[in-house]
Amino acid sequence: DAGVTQSPTHLIKTRGQQVTLRCSPKSGHDTVSWYQQALGQGPQFIFQYYEEEERQRGNFPDRFSGHQYPNYSSELNVNALLLGDSALYLCASGEREHRKNIQYFGAGTRLSVL
Amino acid sequence: SQQGEEDPQALSIQEGENATMNCSYKTSINNLQWYRQNSGRGLVHLILIRSNEREKHSGRLRVTLDTSKKSSSLLITASRAADTASYFCATANSNSGYALNFGKGTSLLVTP
């Protein structure tokens, strides 16, 4: 049973470009959340998707957008990249009915913006 | 903004010793979770303690929660080199909804 998978592992972009990160949730999970983790910091919640809709959003600008497909996989899109967007982007999946909100994380995509 | 704050920021111990790290948070919570992260990779859930629980054990892990002080501690007994990682506390409450609020973490180094 595969866990949460993310692609690509590493990505290098230049300022102003756009990037798409991908995530496949753990089998049986129907929610996907995205987190941004800057170096030396804890993960910061970007948003969560459920039933192909953004269910909740953290304090991130509209440059950050996402999508969830019928098979529960998800994408994170970031437009007009800034140097400050350089970070580890983590995808996490869970079960909507799981009241404890335990999240299962992928290995992350490390984005470097030059 | 970060909800939880871990203390200490870094901890270095030898194998066999116990490691204790603390977490303080700001608002009322539904539960508190501890996660481990190896070398900037994904986080792994370790243990969850509900707001109405005071102590919980899982293997070599012991977690306590003091809601009056808005604090939690994670104790790792008989540490091993493989325990070297960053440890984060994460809180969830009715205000945060589905989001987990993480602290900055404690970096633990266990030397042989």
Question: pLDDT digit string (tens) for B35-48?
Answer: 999 987 889 999 99
- Measure Cα distances from B48 to A52, B15, B54 in Å: 28, 25, 11
Nearest to A35 by CA among A66, A11, A80: A66
| Binary contact (A56, B98; C-beta < 8 A) | yes
How far is the C-alpha of A87 from the C-alpha of A40, rounded, in Å? Answer: 10
Q: Find chain A residues with C-beta within 8 A of B97's C-beta.
A: 56
| Residues pairing with A33 in the sheet | A48, A92
Sign of the C-alpha dihedral, residues B31, B37, B43, B45?
Answer: negative
pLDDT tens digits for range B44-77: 999 999 999 999 999 999 999 999 999 999 999 9
Q: Find chain B residues with C-beta within 8 A of A35's C-beta.
A: 102
| Binary contact (A103, B45; C-beta < 8 A) | yes
pLDDT tens digits for range B77-106: 999 999 999 999 999 877 777 889 999 999
Sign of the C-alpha dihedral, residues A52, A56, A57, A62?
Answer: positive
Q: What is the pLDDT of residue A2?
A: 74
| Binary contact (A31, B99; C-beta < 8 A) | no
Tell me what percent of the residues of chain A surpass a pLDDT of 90.
85
Nearest to B106 by CA among B66, B68, B75, B70: B75
Kind and range of the H or E run holding A1: none
Q: Find chain A residues with C-beta within 8 A of B92's C-beta.
A: 101
Band of pLDDT at residue A1, cut at 50, 70 and 90: low
